[in-house]
Structure 1
């Protein structure tokens, strides 16, 4: 499914389209052998059965026509299940060019960070950097499957921080020989799950934001090292955060997004126009990448949670970003059935980056 408004400019040189997509509980659409559960059984999406969600995802991934997609909430890997098997079966079912899958460190959450890519357009390998930290952690930027030692409370006592979903670090080489460093991210959720009263809501919200900010500080420390090494860096994923998203941000002075972008510091900045628009707007005009139902208010809430941030050398190439929003993007609206598919496929919408190398 392509329209003129969604396709890429064939007159440009080597062109790479990278996507980032949080697929809500993708894991629920496969059995333990990685076979698609293409039936009328319930998915994890409200009033969307598994067959409908799978079909919608097939429409969306084909419309994206990406050379690679960083998938957030990818199917689980454990002793009985394989992310790679599930995703490659999905790609085969829907005839996707992005037919090769890989993951890095696994998580304990049934939600992995995975990379689904077209092997004719690029090669990729899991290439984690940083030294493994000892049991008592290490400061700075240890390997992402280790523990970071950081004073979170400002009390002079270091805390230990561990990613529940370690970022996926990739060394990518395009068919034309261009080398990129990609970091896929699924940052800590700030939602106060388990809160039973106002005091618990406040306490859990603050704890979760503190953890989310610590993850972003760790991530930014790694970005600093890669920029200093002269790498072309792309950080993409779901940060569960956005500027001005909740009142607890004021307690810490800035959002995790600002930390990773390098704003308000002397660090080399990363660039994402959607994040910058949200940071610079003083009114309600801001992009969004996710849509959630708020039961108490009986309405939908939209938020900017998903980002693709690039280093200055890539920003200088004037890439093009797109949020595949079912209501706000004219190209999406013009593609028959795509808006409905996006609404059925996930509570997040894909973000893509078109980069002419």
Structure 2
């Protein structure tokens, strides 16, 4: 079974209110990329992934007039994708939803929100005292994670949590002091969200559930200087701190091995005339899932030889989004208790 996570920049801009693709020469929202070119590139990338399920980050909007499900199902039909069924959870007002596209012939998927005192439902609020002033502050998700029970045909269910954590970019800063305040506040919110997410992961692990957490964390070990202020990154919190059952992601482990080591990257941004590559997208798995021997791949147009060697795919990855997909190829135990790939 192949799982994927993919943050698609400005996906919402490619559809009208009826969910039809705007296949024209107007600008897409991506710099110097038309809607027609981005649509074609995305079709090529999704087809090449050939995943059984894709957690789409920044999926098209759901609102009074628009539907994430309608838009993505029309997108899947246009490119004859197997992942032609769409699941969403709690919607938000950012025009960037989280959605699971999946192959209904291979699996079933249901939204499975859960609430408990230590980990409220993700459309609620979570109180945490990050500045140690004795006054816990309520935190909310602007994009509530999508909790899914995924049941492959003839196999055991897996708990998926699709994540788009708080961006730490200082949008709206007027001067250096204002930028500093926004940076610290955004880091605080991002870390609080990750503490909330980890509390939910702990509940699932205590129940003996196999867990996969995947998506865009807008964070990584050593990614910015504000990490030192709080002692750790949000990614490290979700992976599991001392005494917790650890989650595993090989790219996160590589990033944690040292700043001077070669670093994997899942996103590429232009800044001050140069391209910056960063690790933002992860697929973290519980120990029982890791024991099955899964294989992770970042579909990077330059760093992954198979992507670089395929010129059409390489160009499509660059046009489609500023993030690149991450896939997990996972042998799935059969429901009988015997194990074997499906």
Shift of residue 281, structure 1, vs aligned partner: 2.4
Shift of residue 284, structure 1, vs aligned partner: 4.6
Shift of residue 153, structure 1, vs aligned partner: 1.8
Which residue does the alignment assign to 1:223?
A: 201
* 1:353 equivalent in alignment to 2:328: yes
5+ long unaligned stretches in structure 1: 1-15, 132-138
Shift of residue 151, structure 1, vs aligned partner: 1.3
* CA distance, structure 1, for counterparts of residue 331 and residue 155 of structure 2: 13
* 1:23 equivalent in alignment to 2:8: yes
SS in 2 for 1:339: helix
- What does 1:154-303 correspond to in 2, within 5 Å? 154-263=132-241, 265-294=242-271, 297-303=272-278
* CA distance, structure 1, for counterparts of residue 12 and residue 297 of structure 2: 26
Which residue does the alignment assign to 2:33?
A: 48
Shift of residue 177, structure 1, vs aligned partner: 2.1
Shift of residue 335, structure 1, vs aligned partner: 2.3
Shift of residue 298, structure 1, vs aligned partner: 1.0
Deviations 1:146-183 (A, max 9, x none): 11111122100111100000000001100122210000
Shift of residue 318, structure 1, vs aligned partner: 1.0
Deviations 1:72-117 (A, max 9, x none): 0000000000000000000000010100011000011000000000
Which residue does the alignment assign to 1:98?
A: 83
SS in 1 for 2:215: strand
Of the three residues 53, 61, 81, the one matched with 1:68 is: 53
* CA distance, structure 2, for counterparts of residue 282 and residue 208 of structure 1: 23
5+ long unaligned stretches in structure 2: 333-342
Shift of residue 62, structure 1, vs aligned partner: 0.4
The answer as to whether partners of 2:222 and 2:259 remain within 8 angstroms in 1 is no
- What does 1:321-340 correspond to in 2, within 5 Å? 321-340=296-315
Which residue does the alignment assign to 1:58?
A: 43
Please give the TM-score of this superposition, normalised by the length of structure 1.
Answer: 0.92
* CA distance, structure 1, for counterparts of residue 315 and residue 74 of structure 2: 24
* CA distance, structure 1, for counterparts of residue 160 and residue 14 of structure 2: 27
Which residue does the alignment assign to 2:337?
A: none
* CA distance, structure 2, for counterparts of residue 93 and residue 250 of structure 1: 47
